[in-house]
Amino acid sequence: MANPYTALLAPGRIGKLELRNRIVMAPMGSSFGGHDGKVTERLLAYYEARAKGGAGLLTTGVCAIAFPAGTSEPHQLGISGDEFIPGLAQLVERAHRHGAKMAIQLVHHGKVAARDIAEGRELWVPSVPPPGKAGFVATLSHEEMATFVSNLGSTPPRYRVMDAADIAQMTAWFVAAAARAKRAGFDGIELHAAHNYIFAGFLSPHYNQRTDAWGGPLENRARLLLDTIRAVKAEVGADFPVWLRLDGRELHTEHGITLEDAVATARLAEQAGVDAVHVSAYASIDTGGEFSDAPLPQQPGAYIPFAAAVRKAISVPVIVAGRVEPEAGAQGIAAGDFDFVAMARKLLADPELPNKLAAGRPQDVRPCVYCYVCVSQIFLNKSVKCAVNALTGHEHDTRIEPAATPRRILVIGGGPAGMEAARVAAERGHRVTLVERSNRLGGTLFFAGLAYPENGRLLDYLVAQMQHPNIEVKLDTTATREWVTALAPDRIIVATGARRAAPAIPGADQRHVWSGDELRRLLTGDRAGEIAHAKLSLAERALFKAGGMLGVVDSRQALQRMSKLWMPLGKRVVIIGGGLVGLELAEFLLAREREVTVLEASDRAGRELSVVRRWRVLDGVREHGKLELQATVDAIGKQAVDWHDAKGVAHATPADSVVLAVGAEPDNRLAQSLADLGIPLDEIGDGASLGYIEGAMHRGNRAGRMA
Ligand SMILES: Cc1cc2nc3c(=O)[nH]c(=O)nc-3n(C[C@H](O)[C@H](O)[C@H](O)COP(=O)(O)O)c2cc1C
């Protein structure tokens, strides 16, 4: 059968630049550079891994033309002097070693140049920006808040409304940076004209209030950008590829950039000499949920319509960004909607994605689960990490090496930690037995995949990896001391889940009160019979059994569909606990037309979610359901939950069903019972400490490497 990704894998050109395929590593600030703006070995190894993984073109993250002025991240790259060239040249060389081309993204952060605020410099702006909103701050924990502001210094921002001389200076900085980029050996230059930075600030009618030659109609708002394009092209030469990144729209912004503006700007930019246009999008942020509309969309292919509109208007290639799945990428290229696909998060999750697609192994691509851990790090001024790929950002110091002596490894627990440990150990040459008590792999990830389908893709990937010839999976098997002794492994990895004890709330033992564990067991078939017997009516049990007989509980997608129609929960649901589990469950139930109230004891909800994902979930739960903070539950009645708020005022929230999403705690009983067998033992699952997907994947990876 023909490879469905052929169009994505076909060679392409941007101007004179020939690329081996249409996959572009999108620009991502990683904060892997030095505080001096220089390239580090960590950064080199990180890009080299993506070059090796097969992408046609890599782009650096934001690189500051006036470093340290105009920068935003604490460890952002600079290109403001010749002293930056040797490091950048090394970066290019590391990409070229593996057949990838390397471009640089040039930026001045304008009004959001946090380092200017911290170091007492003025922020360069087209006009003083209208006051922003910052509802998101209320969702940050105290620690996150401290990290967030640590980069801002203590003085309030001072604005410098750029005059004609400043505007000329800005262009001169870009031109000098472009010349250095060419000397460093880069294959192309991306001018960052999106995401609220200097060019976008001028392009946006919301932010640009000027009345002179740089304000008002689009030709004026685009003047700085167009003059800079012409000057840069004149400097680097007609044959040297230069393109721009543009917002297809500025969402959630009054008088923001429209698609018509974007199309017109792209046309003007083509006339000014760009060799391609890269289409992204931006959103103004208040509560924070907007951020996952743009620039990092939750919705797949969110900016494809923008790219297609731009593509119709110009004749140079169009690059599209924004959660473009490989299938949609290949189809869009074949249909002529765009020419290249920029991937960011997917290549953090799996640098080998292009090679795996080319080899016809899409099932082996480790999927991004859109948990937003990566970019949340940047928000908090920390280096990028990836929840599902423990090696991202550690390519320089961590490798999966063949084992010196292949051994027999027993992994107990078929959740994400256990499967990741098994995968890595098997890849190293060990023989692995993976034992799971229930009748399917996945553990809590199966349940997490129901609540947030993105997680389910990770489950599919991990299950596919268990096909490795070195791995033997044993389902429906309890690892008793006798069983383990008979197997006689050289090493044991215990990756069992957490314990969820019912909290001591009066009424918690009623039939309509479910612990997260009971729901999970029912829906995932982990000793589901017992649960069904205790909790379901006869009619419900019959329905449940029918589902089982039809085989639908064996398929995650089918289960998703079925749970839309039937679930053992009534119309009005109260969830006790507003952590990750409670909130994702609330999101899941709201999508199934339940009336949901979440009661959270502390003053912050969703701490375990990355900040960006938390914003979205909180927005959704607040919009469609109710979230009560500092709510102390007093008792669960037959038809209502009694609780009181921080002021001591008593409330009774009607409830047909109650879910207890509190009280998960590490459970090391199994590990303890095996400790005296004399076999080296590693404890890594939620049984050891609660770590959710990131913790499970990282600990599993480490255990596999150490085995
Ligand atoms: C950690 C991280 C850092 C990013 N930094 C930049 C950046 O420096 N410049 C930029 O234009 N976009 C940046 N982006 C946005 C990406 O280039 C991309 O447009 C966005 O993530 C959507 O693509 P995706 O769905 O493939 O992740 C960043 C994204 C991530 C995840």
The residue whose C-alpha atom lies closest to atom 18 belonging to ligand 1 is 344
Tokens in use for 193? Answer: 């004209």
Domain C-terminal end among 359, 379, 399: 379
222 and 132 housed in the same domain: yes
Q: Is residue 395 part of a domain?
A: no
218 and 328 housed in the same domain: yes
275 closest CA partner among 247, 314, 248: 314
d(CA 210, CA 555): 58
Tokens in use for 413? Answer: 């627990």
Calculate the alpha carbon distances from 395 to 49, 50, 350 in Å. Answer: 7, 10, 12
pLDDT at 550: 46
pLDDT at 690: 66
321 and 436 housed in the same domain: no
354 and 441 housed in the same domain: no
Q: Is residue 469 part of a domain?
A: yes
The residue whose C-alpha atom lies closest to atom 13 belonging to ligand 1 is 28
244 and 372 housed in the same domain: yes
Neighbour count for residue 336 (Cβ, 10 Å) = 11
The finding on whether 245 has its CB within 6 A of some atom of ligand 1 is yes
Nearest atom (ligand 1) to Cα of 347: 26
Q: What is the DSSP string of 311-377?
A: HHH-SS-EEE-SS--HHHHHHHHHHTS-SEEEESHHHHH-TTHHHHHHTT-GGGSPPP----HHHHH
| 417, amino acid identity | A
CATH code, domain carrying 691: 3.40.50.720
d(CA 106, CA 62): 6
Domain C-terminal end among 361, 379, 397: 379
Q: Dihedral of CA 641/646/648/651: which sign? A: negative
Let me know if 260 is exposed, middle or buried by CB neighbors in 10 A (0-12, 13-18, 19+). Answer: exposed
The finding on whether 321 has its CB within 6 A of some atom of ligand 1 is yes
Alpha helices (H) along 63-163:
85-96, 114-118, 142-150
Tokens in use for 380? Answer: 């908090």
Give the residue numbers marked as catalytic.
197
The residue whose C-alpha atom lies closest to atom 22 belonging to ligand 1 is 322
d(CA 589, CA 581): 12
Query: Which string of b and e fits 190-212 if b means at least 16 CB within 10 Å?
Result: bbbbbbbbbbbbbbbbbbbbeee
Calculate the alpha carbon distances from 189 to 57, 71, 198, 262 in Å. Answer: 12, 18, 17, 20
In a 13 Å sphere around the CA of 8, the CA atoms on its Cβ side amount to 28
Going from the Cα of 343 to the center of ligand 1, the distance in angstroms, rounded, reads 8
Site to probe by mutation for ligand 1, drawn from 57, 197, 296, 383 as the one with most ligand atoms within 8 Å of Cβ, is 296
The finding on whether 25 has its CB within 6 A of some atom of ligand 1 is no
Calculate the alpha carbon distances from 211 to 65, 130, 216, 220, 225 in Å. Answer: 27, 16, 6, 9, 17
For residue 333, give its domain range.
6-379
368 and 467 housed in the same domain: no
Low-confidence residues of the chain, pLDDT below 50?
549-553
Q: Is residue 549 part of a domain?
A: no
101 and 154 housed in the same domain: yes
For residue 20, the cross-strand partners are none
Cβ contact 480:514 at 8 Å: no
DSSP SS3 for 304:
helix
pLDDT at 223: 98
The finding on whether 581 has its CB within 6 A of some atom of ligand 1 is no
Q: Is residue 463 part of a domain?
A: yes
Calculate the alpha carbon distances from 80 to 74, 75, 160, 177, 598 in Å. Answer: 16, 15, 20, 6, 51
Q: Is residue 385 part of a domain?
A: no
Nearest atom (ligand 1) to Cα of 280: 19
Q: Which helix (H) or strand (E) holds 501?
A: none
The finding on whether 610 has its CB within 6 A of some atom of ligand 1 is no
631 closest CA partner among 656, 593, 609, 662: 662
Q: Is residue 571 part of a domain?
A: yes
Query: Which string of b and e fits 231-258 if b means at least 16 CB within 10 Å?
Result: bbbebbeeebbbbbbbbbbbbbbeebbe
Q: Is residue 289 part of a domain?
A: yes
Going from the Cα of 204 to the center of ligand 1, the distance in angstroms, rounded, reads 20
Query: Which string of b and e fits 530-559 if b means at least 16 CB within 10 Å?
Result: ebbeebbeeeeeebbeebeeeebbeebeeb
d(CA 324, CA 303): 9
672 and 648 housed in the same domain: no
The finding on whether 62 has its CB within 6 A of some atom of ligand 1 is yes
374 and 420 housed in the same domain: no
DSSP SS3 for 249:
strand
Strands (E), 91-241: 101-107, 123-125, 159-161, 188-193
346 closest CA partner among 23, 52, 614: 23
pLDDT at 337: 98
Backbone angles phi, psi at 244, to 5 degrees: -130, 155
Tokens in use for 400? Answer: 């999966």
296 and 444 housed in the same domain: no
Q: Dihedral of CA 468/469/470/473: which sign? A: positive
Calculate the alpha carbon distances from 483 to 124, 480, 674 in Å. Answer: 69, 5, 11
pLDDT at 549: 44
Q: Is residue 387 part of a domain?
A: no
Helical pair 259-272 and 223-236, crossing angle rounded to 10 deg: 30
65 closest CA partner among 129, 118, 110, 121: 110
| 256, amino acid identity | G
Going from the Cα of 308 to the center of ligand 1, the distance in angstroms, rounded, reads 20
| 433, amino acid identity | T
Contacts of 263 (CB under 8 A, 6+ apart): 309, 310, 313
Neighbour count for residue 477 (Cβ, 10 Å) = 16
199 and 182 housed in the same domain: yes
The finding on whether 301 has its CB within 6 A of some atom of ligand 1 is no
- Write down the residue that tokens 């997917």 correspond to: 346
pLDDT at 139: 87
Cβ contact 264:218 at 8 Å: yes
CATH code, domain carrying 331: 3.20.20.70
What is the torsion angle, in degrees rounded to the nearest 10, for the CA atoms of residue 371, residue 377, residue 379 and residue 380?
130
Number of domains in the chain: 3
CATH code, domain carrying 618: 3.50.50.60
Going from the Cα of 502 to the center of ligand 1, the distance in angstroms, rounded, reads 42
The finding on whether 278 has its CB within 6 A of some atom of ligand 1 is no
For residue 514, the cross-strand partners are 659
160 and 49 housed in the same domain: yes
